[in-house]
Each structure stands twice: as structure tokens, then as C-alpha cells.
Amino acid sequence: MRTLPGLLILTTFIGSGLCAVYQQLNDLKQEHFDFVVVGGGAAGAVVASRLSEVKDFQVLLIEAGPSNEGVLLSEVPFFAFDIQNTPYDWNFTTTPQKFADGRVIPYARGHILGGSSAINLMVYTRGSLDDFNRWARVTGDSGWSWDEMFPYFLKNERFVQPTDGRNITGDFDPSIHGYDGMTQISVPNHLQKLFDMRCFEAADELRGNFEFTLDMNNGTLLGTGWAQGTNGGGSRSSSATSYLTREITRRKNLHVLLNTRVTRLRRSEDSSSNGPEFDSVEAFGDGNGSRIFQASKEVILSAGAIGSPHILFHSGFGEAQELQAAGITPLVDLPSLGKNLTDHPFLLVDFMAENTEPNVLANSTLLEDALEEWKNSKTGPLADIPTNNLVWGRLPSDSAFDDPGPGPNAPHWELILALNLGPTPEPHVTAAISIVSPTSRGTLTINSSDPFDSPVIDPAFFTTAVDVEAGRDAVRNARKFFGAKAWEGYVVSEGPLSKGAESDEELDAFIAGNFLTTWHSSSTAMMSPKGADYGVVDPDLKVKGIKGLRIVDASIMPYIINGHPLAAVYVIAERAADMIKQDWTS
């Protein structure tokens, strides 16, 4: 993948005048709160922001990473790929992946206020109605259904016009969007005219899987359409920029502690109290100091699908034998913790092209001009997320496999269409494939008793036959798409990495040698019905059998969303905040 030339400074300015935002552990004097929220990522920022709307609640939000303010790599949408392997990324890697013959895959996670919403690719998809209706079915709680969750999409969303000022009638369905929520959503800010136009011509020509869809966020996630992004006014809209604005962090009852890592939860010393069973949070600053913070009402874990189970393992939650093997004393028997890790594998398929738009990231003169334009007016190529057009398709209806997804409105694979995204020499176009209906299940575990050691991340990509078949089907459909007449005089040939891979075996070798992750980890602390003997949290997101502890983040998804998951994380967090408020204000 491309890298930025070295001319960029990481930060434009260091935030100042922040009221209840503490840069270092010892800046915060207070030790007792009503709620302690662990992890200031997508979900954690929502929960802390919403809970602090209740003036009586004292809320502490603890984030391991630094502030998002002035971080240019996070603000500029087109730099989304370039923020990985910086101080804003946890820099994880997977275990050697079996299908990839032992290859290890880099595994980015946001380490910054806003979490992964501050470093992700910003593609906004709600998923399909079938995803949410399956959640309702398998948890026995109709509150998770599409219809009941729909108001939360609107509550989260502030749909805004793109910054190029064009008329976007016909590019989205205005009737299904929210206009006065928190997270800004927009269709592309900058068109790649030659490329975008051909994408839709190819869709019209090919139909079937590629049929144009007016708005892929209407509950049916199928066909070809304009990408919508979590960006507005030409800048990234993360959970930090939207839910933790200066106005919000000025609230006297909200305390945001940065650069502080939570290592463990500790059991309450007073078992007869009405407070949480695990009421203390052990936190380490950037130096070597540690502190204990206490919650009198609830501790809410929002450290993400990797971070939340990691903290729980080190606190003695999990399967006893696994904990003992890592040198940890088991306290709470929770065998499902860390099981069922699910993610979407990612695969770049390149096609050599001619007459493409110039690539700003490959030419430092163009980049400087584009950055100047972005700074002046938030327009131009840098105002855009890395893709303008997406295709969502399904395995053929006569496939030998049962539907791996939640139902007919959900896709099995995605083609993220972009210029010069892949590894081959320029100019080229790329279909970045994501297998969005994975049936492979991995694990998150630990192999040490030191909470500062990385957890062991095994997404077990492509370990089921249907996932591999979906991979082959997606590559064949990428070829079909870029083989359309619409691309004559533009796409020249398939890129050298995949060219000539025709048989199943040849395709499998290409996939195995090249797949990466879409960074959508989920389901490591899955919801299950109340009383079930598997799962980690109940449908109200309370950890089974434990008083005063909830998990609110991507780890609770009983099944991964067959689409990009951030919107789902936002609505999970919005609903969770309502449930918590209800429990403590009625």
C-alpha cells in the first residue's frame, strides 16, 4: 500500500484550554466517580458523553492514547491509510495464519481519543436489516432489531452536504438519514470524475450483483452505490470530534483522562456494599505511576473487541485453565470470553490502468498543493475518504453452500473501488475485497500475566470452506466488474499478482499469499440470551452474573455485521447509554 512522502508534520497544534481533559494520570485528583468508562474509542466516547448529560452523574473516561486534537493524519480523510504504525496505533499483529501458510498480518487499532473511529477508513454502512434482526433473534431481545435500532441511527447521524458544492440529488435517499445527530456523514467530497462515472456505467451494464442502489444504508446492503463516510465539512468525524467536543468536555461532571492505560479491574473490598462487584480500576500513566479509580454505580468496559477481553483476562475473568496457564488466578468463570473472534478478511486486487486521475500521494508537488487546498477550504482530493464507490454482492443462488450471512438483504462480499490503492506499480485501479459474511471463528487469548504484553490475536481467517469460496467469488466478480465495456480505454489488464489465477487452486494461492484484514474485529464478549450457558454479556450488556459491570463496544456483537461495523458500534453505544440512564434515574 502507498505511503506518504516525508513532508508531513504529525500535529498541527497541541490542544489547549481543555477543561475536564487531563493529559496525564496525576493531573486528575478525583478518585471516586459514579461511572468509570474504560476506553475512549467509538463506543466509550458515546457512553461517557451521553451519561454526562445527567448532571448528577460523575463520569470518568479513561483512554490509553493521546488527544485527537490537531492530529492532521486523523483529520484529513485521505490520510486514513497513513496513520497506521504511528503513536495513534496499537501496532498489533495476528498470530501466524494457517490459510496464509503461517504469514503474520499487521492488526491496527486506534490508540487515540476516538479509538479506531479516529484512524479508520470512514466508510459508513449501517449493515442490513437482517443483521440486526438476527441479533434480536439470537439474544431474545427485540430491542436489537432493525426497526427498534433505527431511531438510534438517526440520533447518531448528522448528514451534511459534501464540500465541493455539487447537487447530490439522486446520490442518496434523504428520507432515511438523520440531520441533527452527532457524527457527520457525507457522500464523497471530491469526485474522481473519470473513475466514478465508469463505476456506475459498469454497474448499469452488468446489473445482477452490480445493480445501482440509491442508498446502501436503507436496510438492504446490495449493489453498487456512492460510498457514505463518517466525515463532514471535509474532515474526519470521529467519536472524539462528535461526542467529545470542547463544549461537551467542559461539563463539570465529565472527566476525560488521556495517556492512561487500564490494566485490571479489582474486586470490591466491601462485598456487602450496593456498589459494583468489581468497583476499582487500576490505571497506569505514561511514566511508571499507577492509580486506582472507583465507581459507585458501574464500570463500563469500552476498550474494543481486543482491549476489553484483554483487560478482563488480566482481572481473572475467563476459562480457569487458560488463565492458570498464563499465570493468572481465576476469579470469574467465563469460558466464552475471547472465543468467537470474528473479522472480515481483506484482499487487494489491482488492474493496470491508463488515463487515470493523478495520484496526489505519489507526487509531492501535487500533495503540497492538495494540502494547501484542504487547509484553505476543506475541498480537493484530500477531503475525500479513500473510496467513492462500493459494490456489495452475494454468492450465486445456486451455490453449493448454505447462506453464510443473516439473510437475503445482506452481502457476502464487498468491492471497495479506488485508484492506486494496491501494491502494484501505478497507475492502477483497485478492487479492495472484504469478505463480510465470515463463518470462520478465531480467538483472543493471552500468553503472559503482564498486562502490558500484547494479547494473542488469531482471527483464523479463511478456515471454513465457504469463506474461501466467497473469496474466489469476489475475485471473479472484481474481474467481471473491471472487464465491463465501460472500462475500455482505461483499464488495460489485470495486475501481475492475480493475473492468470483461474482454477480454484490458483485463486486460493493468490488469496492465501495476499489477504490482510479489514480491521473489523468483533464478538469476543458476545451477547447471548439471559440465562444462556454461553456468551459473556446479557442483552442489557451486563457481564453475566456480575453486578455493576457492562461491556459496550464491538466485542458484544453476537455476529459480526455483514458490512463496515462502526455505525453499528455507535448505535450499540447509544442504546447502552439509554439503558444505563434508565437503570439509574428511575
Ligand X SMILES: *[C@@H]1O[C@H](CO)[C@@H](O)[C@H](O)[C@H]1NC(C)=O
Ligand Y SMILES: Cc1cc2nc3c(=O)[nH]c(=O)nc-3n(C[C@H](O)[C@H](O)[C@H](O)COP(=O)(O)OP(=O)(O)OC[C@H]3O[C@@H](n4cnc5c(N)ncnc54)[C@H](O)[C@@H]3O)c2cc1C
Q: Using the rule CB under 6 A, is 147 a contact of ligand X?
A: no
Considering only 175, 271, 365, 376, the residue that binds ligand X (CB under 6 A) is 365
218, interface contact from ligand Y, ligand X, none, CB < 5-8 Å by kind: ligand X
Which positions ≥6 away from 196 have C-beta within 8 Å? 188, 388, 389
Q: Which is nearer to ligand Y, 13 or 452 (CB)?
A: 452
CB under 6 A: which stretch of 63-71, 345-353, 390-398, 465-473 binds ligand Y? 63-71
Q: Using the rule CB under 6 A, is 263 a contact of ligand X?
A: no
| 520 is known as an active-site residue | yes
Q: Using the rule CB under 6 A, is 545 a contact of ligand X?
A: no
Q: Using the rule CB under 6 A, is 87 a contact of ligand X?
A: yes
Known binder of ligand: residue 217? no
Burial 4-31 (b: 16+ CB within 10 A, else e): eeeeeeeeeeebeebebbbbebeebeee
Site string for ligand X, 286-305 (x = CB under 6 A): -xxx----------------
Hey, which residues between 414 and 473 contact ligand X (CB under 6 A)? 447, 454, 456
| 314 is known as an active-site residue | no
Q: Coil, strand, or helix at residue 537?
A: strand
Q: Coil, strand, or helix at residue 419?
A: strand
Find the shortest distance in angstroms from Cβ 215 to ligand Y: 16
Q: Using the rule CB under 6 A, is 1 a contact of ligand X?
A: no
Residue 209 · residue 393 · CB < 8 Å: yes
Q: Which residue has the CB atom at the shortest distance from ligand X?
A: 287
CB under 6 A: which stretch of 14-22, 92-100, 120-128, 530-538 binds ligand Y? 120-128
d(CA 337, CA 525): 5
Known binder of ligand: residue 123? yes
Cell triple for 163: 464540500
Cα-based distances in Å from 331 to 340, 464, 472, 526 = 22, 34, 45, 19
Q: Using the rule CB under 6 A, is 110 a contact of ligand Y?
A: yes
d(CA 53, CA 57): 8
Q: Using the rule CB under 6 A, is 43 a contact of ligand Y?
A: yes
Q: Using the rule CB under 6 A, is 69 a contact of ligand Y?
A: no
342, interface contact from ligand Y, ligand X, none, CB < 5-8 Å by kind: none
User: Which of these is catalytic: 177, 255, 310, 520?
Assistant: 520
Q: Are strands 106-107 and 92-93 parallel, antiparallel or unpaired?
A: antiparallel
Cell triple for 542: 451486563
In this structure, what DSSP letter does residue 270 have?
Answer: -
CB under 6 A: which stretch of 36-44, 48-56, 90-98, 226-234 binds ligand X? 90-98
Residue 234 · residue 374 · CB < 8 Å: yes
d(CA 434, CA 471): 8
CB under 6 A: which stretch of 95-103, 115-123, 156-164, 433-441 binds ligand Y? 115-123
**For the purposes of burial, counting CB atoms within 10 Å of the CB of 175, is it exposed (0-12), middle (13-18) or buried (19 or more)?**
exposed
Find the shortest distance in angstroms from Cβ 511 to ligand Y: 20
User: Which of these is catalytic: 111, 310, 314, 564?
Assistant: 564
Q: Using the rule CB under 6 A, is 240 a contact of ligand Y?
A: no
Which positions ≥6 away from 515 have C-beta within 8 Å? 99, 100, 105, 345, 346, 347, 461, 462, 471
Indicate the helix (H) or strand (E) that contains 38.
strand 32-38
Binding site, annotated residues for FAD: 120-123, 262, 519-520
Q: Which residues are catalytic?
A: 520, 564
Q: Which residues bind ligand Y (CB under 6 A)?
A: 38-44, 62-65, 108-111, 115-117, 119-123, 261-262, 302-305, 307, 311, 519-520, 553-554, 564-566, 569
